[in-house]
Amino acid sequence: MIGKEGAALRINVLAAALYSGMTVEDVYRLDLGYAPPFAPAWDPILIAANRARKGA
């Protein structure tokens, strides 16, 4: 894995989503932890899922 701090946690979320057979819509609706200043309000996983469901 290559990435900034937190990359491993995001990979874990996506691995669990794949294992569970989640759809893009399911991933978009995940309620991921938010703890300022450690995590953004919109996690990059949710941003990517939102773009994927819009076909962007």
Please report the DSSP string for 5-40 in residue order.
TTHHHHHHHHHHHHHHT--HHHHHT------TTTS-
- The mean pLDDT of 7-17, rounded to a whole number, is 89
pLDDT digits (tens, 9 = 90+) for 40-55: 778 889 999 999 999 8
> pTM for the complete prediction?
0.76
Q: Which residue has the higher pLDDT, 56 or 7?
A: 7
| 9 has pLDDT over 90 | no
- 27 phi/psi in degrees, rounded to 5: -65, -40
Q: What is the pLDDT of residue 5?
A: 75
Q: In order of start, what are the domains of the chain with their CATH numbers?
A: 7-53 (3.30.390.30)
